[in-house]
Amino acid sequence: MLVMTGTGTGVGKTITTAAIAALAADGGQRVAVLKPAQTGVRPDEPGDLADVRRLAGDVTTLELRRYPDPLSPEAAARRSGLPTLDPGEIARAASDLDTGHDLTLIEGAGGLLVRFDAAGASLADVAWSLGSLVIIVAEAGLGTLNATALTAEVATKRGLTVAGVIIGAWPAEPDLAALSNLEDLPVAAGAPLLGVLPAGLGAASRDEFLAAARGGLSPWFGGEFDPELFAGCASAGK
């Protein structure tokens, strides 16, 4: 079981989750993806799990709550009058999925401490209750080191283990900060760089997506990503 968290919103967390799921499913594993809370999406609109199914193929998906306002789950629940989530409900759903699958991915909303309820329950509580490894999805450029370090420090102080960091949207023309961060992000995270996925990957066909996932994710996930080789090619403009 893996808990997928971002350093913020819009960092490529859903695409990264889909990429890990796609590789695992292609390798013959039974994969489940749990999205505890989807915000900013109406009941009749496709959410993040629709993207996961479109890109990853035959995987099980489960969404526990959906709120129309693009806010934290706790704030969105409060505004809508819909029930909030608690870590116990999420953990039970994840455990139920895990009994019938080889890999279960839990995708949070935003960052590690985004609130699910008025008591301040967060994805960190879910990860702790499940004893799950945490994957941090980070931005490529300026400002990402502080956000990544804060996320990793909070995770460690909560008794969690950060398995690695993945850059969720690598720009076509990386600047100096992005290139430098290839070396500095693992230091900030206190964990290895386990992948770099290209920006715009969500528009790829399923075959293109799988190929990009294989090239952009570590052998730890069944991919072929080599951080040293990638850094050398990126610096050379290849």
Catalytic-labelled residue, pool 13, 35, 157, 238: 35
CA atoms within 13 A on the CB side of 207: 0
Terminal Cα-to-Cα distance of the chain (whole angstroms): 35
Name 10's Cβ contacts closer than 8 Å, sequence gap at least 6.
Answer: none
Are the C-beta atoms of 59 and 21 separated by less than 8 Å? yes
3-state class of 175 per DSSP?
coil
**Separation CA 84–CA 76 (nearest Å):** 9
Active site (annotated) includes residue 238 = no
* C-alpha distance from residue 54 to each of 18, 143, 158, 198 (Å): 9, 31, 34, 18
- Just list the catalytic residues: 35
